[in-house]
Amino acid sequence: MTARRPYRRNLHRLGPEKAARIILVSVLYSACGGRRSVFVDEDGGISLYAPSHPYALRKPPEHLVGTYGHESSREQLERALRRRLDRLAGSDWGVRSIGYTT
């Protein structure tokens, strides 16, 4: 069994601000010029697909951050990515680390 290839774009590594800039550049310069669905999986990997693409339809709905186009603002995307990062960290549901292990 081979190891999974690491993502080039990762929300944990990039942070919400830089990830939002990279995503919006991808949307603006996409070949078809349309909207893109943004997905962030449990490992922080970022995927962009056209909303009707078969891969987008197979992704779990909880991984969907949103669908963005040319009219989307960077602030709007940053907020959504921060929310997803909080969910991945567990702070969105009130899960906190208590500093020791059992």
User: What span, in angstroms and rounded, lies between the C-alpha atoms of 76 and 31?
Assistant: 23
pLDDT digits (tens, 9 = 90+) for 9-43: 899 999 999 999 999 998 888 776 678 999 999 98
Q: What is the pLDDT of residue 9?
A: 87
Model pLDDT, residue 66: 94
Residues ≥6 apart with Cβ < 8 Å to 82:
16
Per-residue pLDDT tens over the stretch 57-98: 999 999 999 999 888 899 999 999 999 999 988 855 545 555
- CA atoms of 93 and 89, how far apart (whole Å): 9
- What is the distance between the alpha carbons of residues 75 and 80, in angstroms, rounded to a whole number? 9
Neighbours of 46 (CB within 10 A): 22
pTM (2 decimals)?
0.78
pLDDT at 6: 57
Of the pLDDT bands very low, low, confident and very high (cuts 50, 70, 90), residue 102 is: very low
DSSP 92: G
